């Protein structure tokens, strides 16, 4: 029985070390979806609202604007009010569409950033 318990503990330790941690920011998408529920293709775009690659290392123009709005700790902001404020602040910033802000695009129910998936 003792060998079984030691083996089980070792196996648990190895499994815990082998697991990869998720680095997702589901709160960002959750509050974006709350603020702009009518944006076209929102459910299929998800993380690609801000990102351009599957590893989420590269961001599009809207993602860069959100980083600026979120400030120094943009990588993992957990404060709901800070996230909502950053969404509102980003609305006022100029988008790549000439003569329109991100807020204008969102009011037209369009995605604010370019969906350039790699």
What Å distances lie between residue 111 and 57, 101, 116, CA to CA?
20, 12, 12
Instruction: Give the whole-angstrom CA distance, residue 48 versus residue 26.
Output: 12
Residues in Cβ contact with 89 at an 8 Å cutoff, skipping those fewer than 6 apart = 69
Contact (CB, 8 A) for 62 and 94:
no
pLDDT at 99: 92
Domain coordinates in residue numbering, the chain? 23-107
Give pLDDT, residue 11. Answer: 62
In angstroms, the CA 113 to CA 42 distance is: 12
Over 90: is that where the pLDDT of 76 sits? no
pLDDT, tens digit, 9 for 90 and up, residues 2-42: 777 777 666 676 666 655 444 456 688 899 999 999 998 88
What phi, psi does 101 have (nearest 5°)? -95, 170
CA–CA separation, 29 vs 58, rounded Å? 16
Confidence (pTM): 0.72
**DSSP H helical segments within 19-112, as ranges?**
26-35, 42-45, 61-70, 80-91, 102-107
Based on its alpha-carbon atoms, the radius of gyration of the chain, rounded to whole angstroms, reads: 19
- Look at residue 87 and tell me whether its pLDDT is greater than 70: yes
């Amino acid at each position: 029985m003792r060998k079984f318990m030691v083996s089980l503990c070792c196996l648990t330790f190895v499994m815990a070390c082998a697991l990869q941690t998720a680095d997702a920011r589901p709160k960002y998408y959750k509050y974006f979806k709350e603020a702009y529920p009518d944006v076209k293709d929102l459910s299929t775009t998800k993380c690609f609202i801000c990102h351009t690659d599957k590893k989420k290392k590269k961001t599009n123009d809207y993602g860069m604007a959100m980083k600026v709005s979120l400030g120094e700790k943009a990588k993992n902001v957990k404060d709901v009010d800070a996230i909502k404020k950053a969404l509102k602040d980003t609305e006022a910033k100029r988008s790549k569409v000439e003569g329109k802000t991100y807020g204008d695009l969102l009011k037209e129910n369009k995605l604010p950033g370019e969906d350039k998936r790699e």
